[in-house]
A and B are shown apart, each in its own frame.
Chain A
Amino acid sequence: KAGVTQTPRYLIKTRGQQVTLSCSPISGHRSVSWYQQTPGQGLQFLFEYFSETQRNKGNFPGRFSGRQFSNSRSEMNVSTLELGDSALYLCASSLPTRLDTGELFFGEGSRLTVL
């Protein structure tokens, strides 16, 4: 069974540009979450999608957005990049209901460097 796939794995952008990151969840998983990981702030929740609807959102500015498609794949977008957006962006998927184990399955992340 394939795991969570994130693309691209590494990318470099300059300030002011925008970036789109992609996440393909494990087959059968309908919930996708995104986290930002930085040395200073640690792991911070960005947003969560379930059945194409945003179910929860973290405390990030509006430059951070996301969406989920009907096949459960998800994308996140960061516009007007700032130096502080340099981070590892992790996507996680989980089984569709709260009756499951509550476990998140993480991808290997997309490492964004903003110059």
Chain B
Amino acid sequence: AQSVTQLDSQVPVFEEAPVELRCNYSSSVSVYLFWYVQYPNQGLQLLLKYLSGSTLVKGINGFEAEFNKSQTSFHLRKPSVHISDTAEYFCAVSDPQGGSEKLVFGKGTKLTVNP
């Protein structure tokens, strides 16, 4: 069964600092990988996705992630964060061969950007 581990439950950073949110997945098959963001009292919004091809994926709001198959990781990075990036971030995996849209999510990482 697939599983996702987000190594940090909370990450505090100062504005304009770089940030990396870590994600490792466990799967014996090829996967699709996603990062979603959730702002308070809202649903989830897709930040970026890896389906195939280039291992460096760029998303919205200046975020990027790198797929590393050997380390089964998909870490999210941003070179300079803003106050508005304060939110909860979820890494997710799905099985492209599974015939289902089901996503398996990590527990989430709360990013707090301080002035």
Interface residues of A (CB under 8 A from B): 4, 31, 33, 35, 42-45, 48, 55-56, 58, 90, 92, 94, 98, 101-109
Contacts and interface: CB of A to CB of B under 8 A. Distances in A.
Contacts of B99: 55, 98
Contact of A43 (B51, B100, B101, B105): B105
B43 A107 contact: yes
Contacts of B12: none
B49 A101 contact: yes
Interface residues of B, number: 24
B90 A102 contact: no
Given A42-B108, A107-B43, A102 B102 contact: no
Contact of B34 (A35, A44, A103): A103
Contacts, number: 63
Interface string B59-98: 0000000000000000000000000000000100010100
12 contacts: A4-B43, A35-B103, A42-B106, A43-B105, A45-B102, A56-B101, A94-B101, A102-B32, A102-B96, A104-B46, A106-B36, A106-B43
Interface of B: 32, 34, 36, 41-46, 49, 51, 90, 94, 96, 99-108
B96 A43 contact: no
Interface SS of chain B: loop
Nearest to B41: A108
Contacts of A104: 44, 46, 101, 103
Given A44-B105, A98-B99, 11 more contacts: A43-B105, A55-B99, A56-B102, A90-B43, A90-B44, A92-B44, A94-B101, A101-B51, A102-B96, A104-B46, A108-B43
A50 B21 CA distance: 33
Contacts of A58: 102
A54 B67 CA distance: 32
Nearest to A100: B101
Nearest to A90: B43
Contacts of A109: 42-43
Q: Which 8 A-B residue pairings sit nearest by Cβ, starting from the closest?
A: A106-B43, A43-B105, A106-B44, A56-B100, A42-B107, A108-B43, A102-B32, A94-B101
